[in-house]
Amino acid sequence: MIVIVDFGMGNLRSILKKFEMIKVGAVISSKPEDILNAEKLVLPGVGNFGQGMKNIRQYGLLPVLERAILIKKIPILGVCLGMQLFAQFSEEGDCAGLGFIKGKITHFNFENLPQTQNLRIPHVGWNNIKIKKETDLLKNIPENTRFYFTHSYHYTNVAEENIIATTDYGYDFPSIIRQENIYGTQFHPEKSHLLGLEIYKNFINHC
């Protein structure tokens, strides 16, 4: 069973519907027994990093996620804020994250870019990925595939070996990361049409 982790934030139903479309059994749950017995996990997220970590603690999920991911090595896919929560620290909320993947979450900063670019924050809409490393998550996903983004913060200080793909918005930022059984996409596969569905299929079938 695939468990979509409910910590009170994120577009849980949208992701669940995508799993229904590809005929994969999935549930939304915050129950420790469901998370610890899952075949795979999805950590969604829409909103503020600080609030997300607060909710995870209030739901009693911090030790559960640590056991499931770090000890039992259950594969997990973090989506948008869900991916950012894997980091050690975030400027958004000025607080520590789960610390599963080394790195920091920082706000987009265009101060040293030409003013003519007129880039807006948040970064919202379709953008391309540039594949840096092969991974089963990207099976049948071609270079420069466009996915749907909506975010104001992004990963920095990530080890090169953990960066699977980057995206250019004024400068390159990590848009897909991986460390062992932990995967993350800064974009929303559930909002990215057929190739977004392919990401979920790959996570289920190959990761």
**Of these residues, 95, 188, 198, 207, which one is catalytic?**
188
Amino acid type, 204: I
Catalytic annotation present for 92: no
Q: What are phi and psi of 38, to 5 degrees?
A: -70, 150
Assigned superfamily of 2-205: Class I glutamine amidotransferase (GATase) domain (3.40.50.880)
Contact 84, 97 (CB under 8 A): yes
Q: Are 4 and 79 in contact (CB under 8 A)?
A: no
Angle (deg, nearest 10), helices 12-21 and 193-205:
80
> What are the residue boundaries of the structural domains of the chain, listed by start?
2-205
33 tagged catalytic: no
Encode pLDDT of 14-66 as tens digits. 999 999 999 999 999 999 999 999 999 999 988 899 999 999 999 999 999 99
| Catalytic residue, candidates 134, 190, 198, 207 | 190
Please name the amino acid found at residue 94.
D
- Is 190 noted as a catalytic residue in this protein? yes
Question: Looking at 66, 80, 92, 207, which residue is catalytic?
Answer: 80
Tens digits of pLDDT across the chain (207 residues): 999 999 999 889 999 999 999 999 999 999 999 999 999 999 998 889 999 999 999 999 999 999 999 999 999 999 999 999 999 999 999 999 999 999 999 999 988 877 657 889 999 999 999 999 999 999 999 999 999 999 999 999 999 999 999 999 999 999 999 999 999 999 999 999 999 999 999 999 998
